[in-house]
Amino acid sequence: MTEAACEDPDEPGPEDFVYGEEDFVLQDAGWEGDPDSQPSRFDRALLSGWSDRMARGLFRYRLGALPTRELPGAAGLVAQLNAQRGSERRPPQPVLSLRQPFDPAAFNFSRLRRGELLLRLHRAGSAAEPLLVAINASPLGRGHVLLLPEPARARPQALAAPVLRAALEAALLSAHPGFLVGFNGLGGGASVNHPHLHGLYLRRPLPAQSAPARPLRPRGPALLRGPAPAFAFFAASPAELDAVSRDVCQAAERITEAGWAYNVLATRGDPLEAAEGGRGLRVLLWARRPCFGVKASDAFNVALCELAGFLPIASEALFHSITEAEALSTIQQYLLPEDELLSLGKDLARLLEE
């Protein structure tokens, strides 16, 4: 698969995972009881491969139980202590612009070791390139993976509709209510300028999965209220994934043209309006102030997890002391003023009606 793969013939490589629509889990197992008690075929393959690679020492650190606490307050923010990620992860690449070219001399995902690759996701009957699933060597939690579209291609970190569609299908392959997929754009917390998304299992629900939303126009995104307002899209069935993927990527491109960075999160969640029926996939798109370079003074980096209300924290002292008000103050530094957000939302709605 890669040069590194050829150098390590004894390491396991990615398993082919062929799936069809019958593998999509339309109703997740729910939060009651042990969320691992009813895993899907995808969950079993991903988590067993992930645990095997942890046992082989292919991560930058061994991951034990991570202290977690919900911050007192109305926002429902969840903080988690992960000191090793703060000290052991590969330093993020410097990002200097929203359209920074790919740099072949910098680290990219064509350099992963063979053993870091877990699965090759391929939909039966599709001519699309498989989506590779690899370990995140500096994990936020058990099962934290990277979703890699065509890692051998020299492209910068940007989201395309076919890639998002494949990632949304991966989300539907899981039966876990806390499995999410997400994308950090350039200037939005991306640490490697090469196309990748994150896959992550959360152990408790976040407000973003159930917060109400207000439609901006008859067609187009709704505005999800909360600590970090997002443009929200909803797919009630696999048949809606193409349209949602196309709309999200069109909106993300318009956000970039306007000079803002963006983050995307797809998670199981309630419909955006009560009358819409059962649970499906919520796809949240944040337009936010870009952050260039490395900002070491912040309490935590603000990327897709933090915008959704999940706060990985490296400092034990900060983990125990941080308040909801302090966390919200950090997040809000990156948010658009409300008038600019509403103006952008109307522009996106008009764009998607064309």
Q: So which residues are the catalytic ones? A: 196
Side-chain-side CA neighbours of residue 214 (13 Å): 7
Partners of 19 in beta bridges: 123
CA-nearest of 172, 174, 180, 306 to 239 is: 172
**d(C-alpha 80, C-alpha 64), whole Å:** 12
Strand order across the 310-313 sheet: 68-70, 78-81, 310-313
H or E segment at 310? strand 310-313
Number of Cβ atoms within 10 Å of the Cβ of 264 = 26
* Burial state string for 189-202 with b = 16 or more CB within 10 A and e = fewer than 16: bbbbbbbbbbbbbb
CB 122 within 8 A of CB 16: yes
